[in-house]
Amino acid sequence: MNADVRTMKTPAEQALSAAFAATRDTLPGKGAVAALRADAFATFETRGLPHRRVEEWKYTDLRALMRDLYPLAAPPDAAAKARAKDAGKLLAGIDCRRLVFADGAFVPEQSDLTPEQGLSIASLAEALAKGDAATAAQLGKTFPTDDVAVALNAALMGDGAVIRIAAGAEIKRPIHLVFAAGADKPSSSFIRSLIVVEKGAKATIIEDHESGAAQVNAALELVVGDEAQVDYFKLTQARALHVASLLATIGAKAQFRSFAFTRDSSVVRNQNFIRFTGEHAHGGIRGVSLLRGKEHVDTTLLIEHAAVHCESREQFRAVLDDESHSVFQGKIVVAPHAQKTDAKMMTRALLLSDEAEADNKPELEIFADDVVCGHGATAGALDPGLKFYLMSRGITDKEAEALLIQAFIGETVEEIAHEGIRAALMDAAVAWLGARK
């Protein structure tokens, strides 16, 4: 029953160890960053890849799912960059500041680097190589965790975005981080980004992964300063193992809204570690996953209310067809002093097939006595009554289903403030439905 017994290392674990040994001297960053890597790697060495006996990974047995490690991606060549160019089409119609990463490495020539007041953009590899003190100081500090996926990311992180938005700045165009697969053979990349939104600043950030057949372990450290407003999107389309971690802190009176949209992905784990550190902050954490075939999508949240009077809303929907498997694990923790917390979590799974599996685990851990916390979870099929109503009005079987599914996810998608992104995601969902057999 215990997790402390380590048997033999799996091939993937051996490959990860070998990869670290081979690259630790060439990975960017010295001093504190090198120490961070070594510490993180030690965590992985003692714990190994998480498996089903590890409570947080109960439904996504990484040790079984990660058979091997693809070779670490080489810096993208011209052909790889060319392939990356077409990625991120989902938001093509929206005026964004596009920053492109191919196989995890920043491609400045495809990125929009026009200067803007209050906005600074850099590549992580470059910042670390230069020994940028501010970056080194923040890295790994936003939300310390001993999660093994985050540790692996810290040990092997290569490149990513380092973005700083100065106090009071209002960034008009959404910042679109496009993480594309460039290499034409299987590769793996460890991407780490750091975004600091200072006091009172406003920004929309889109983390868009089209990682194709590449293994990706991505982590984003996001600091939302006091009174700042951040809209964050995580779009995922991945045909190989994709593990992404959001490590965020939300300051006082800040507004944070996130939306995760996952479709056409083989194995995805999106884990969010979010801490409310200042009073009167609001967080809306939402997402929609569309699954078919044998796809596996895991959304895991750890929401920590560490300050009084904060409000959070978590709302997730999954639509499952064929033999797909969705996982939702949401944990809300209310610290003893975090009185007047108002947290509500809702997760719903719509099963379109008898072979699909939806596992929901909405969890509450409450240590304060004057709070309002609730969670709800449902799983079920489409309401035959509603379908019958539509069909009795001359709508075909498939259309009726599509309409109902659209309504099911629409309730969550509608919460997106940005009109263009909202429409683009809804279109993508409709396209997904259209492809349903």
Partner 1 sequence: MPAVQETVEQVRLIDVDQYKYGFVTDIESEKAPKGLSEDTIRFISAKKSEPEWMLAWRLEAYKRWLTMREPTWARVSYPKIDYQDLYYYSAPKRNALASLDEVDPEILRTYEKLGIPLKEQEILAGVRKQGEPSKLDDDEMTVGEARGRVAVDAVFDSVSVATTFKEELKKAGVIFMPMSEAVREHPDLVKKYLGSVVPTSDNFFATLNSAVFSDGSFVYVPPGVRCPMELSTYFRINEANTGQFERTLIIADKGAYVSYLEGCTAPMRDENQLHAAVVELVALDDAEIKYSTVQNWYPGDANGKGGIFNFVTKRGDCRGARSKISWTQVETGSAITWKYPSCILRGDNSRGEFYSIAISNGHQQVDSGTKMIHLGKNTVSRIISKGIAAGKSNNTYRGLVSAHRKATGARNFTNCDSLLIGNKCGAHTVPYIEAKNSSATFEHEATTSKISEDMLFYCQSRGMSAEEATALVVNGFVKDVLQQLPMEFAVEAQKLISISLEGSVG
Binding residues for partner 1, rule: CB under 8 A, are: 1-3, 55, 336-337, 339, 344, 349, 351-381
Closer Cβ to partner 1, 176 or 292, answer by number: 292
Closer Cβ to partner 1, 97 or 317, answer by number: 317
Nearest distance, CB of residue 387 and partner 1, angstroms:
13
Closer Cβ to partner 1, 59 or 233, answer by number: 59
Closer Cβ to partner 1, 364 or 430, answer by number: 364
Nearest distance, CB of residue 361 and partner 1, angstroms:
5
Q: How far is 178 from 87, CA to CA, in rounded Å?
A: 7
Tokens of 230: 């951040």
3-state secondary structure of 150: helix
Nearest distance, CB of residue 322 and partner 1, angstroms:
11
Nearest distance, CB of residue 372 and partner 1, angstroms:
6
Q: How far is 194 from 36, CA to CA, in rounded Å?
A: 15
Ranges of beta strands (E only) in 71-159 are 97-102, 105-106, 119-123
Q: How far is 184 from 66, CA to CA, in rounded Å?
A: 20
- Helix axis angle, 397-413 relative to 384-392, nearest 10°? 120
Nearest distance, CB of residue 370 and partner 1, angstroms:
5
293 exposure class (CB count in 10 Å sphere: 0-12, 13-18, 19+): exposed
Kindly provide the b/e burial profile for residues 400-425, where b requires at least 16 CB atoms within 10 angstroms of the residue's own CB: bbbbbbeebbbebbeebebeebbebb
Closer Cβ to partner 1, 55 or 170, answer by number: 55
Nearest distance, CB of residue 43 and partner 1, angstroms:
19
Distance of CA 154 to the CA centre of its chain: 16
Nearest distance, CB of residue 48 and partner 1, angstroms:
17
3-state secondary structure of 56: helix
Closer Cβ to partner 1, 170 or 365, answer by number: 365
Q: How far is 9 from 277, CA to CA, in rounded Å?
A: 39
List all residues 6 or more positions away from 147 whose beta carbon is below 8 Å from its beta carbon: 50, 56, 245, 271, 273
Closer Cβ to partner 1, 12 or 54, answer by number: 54
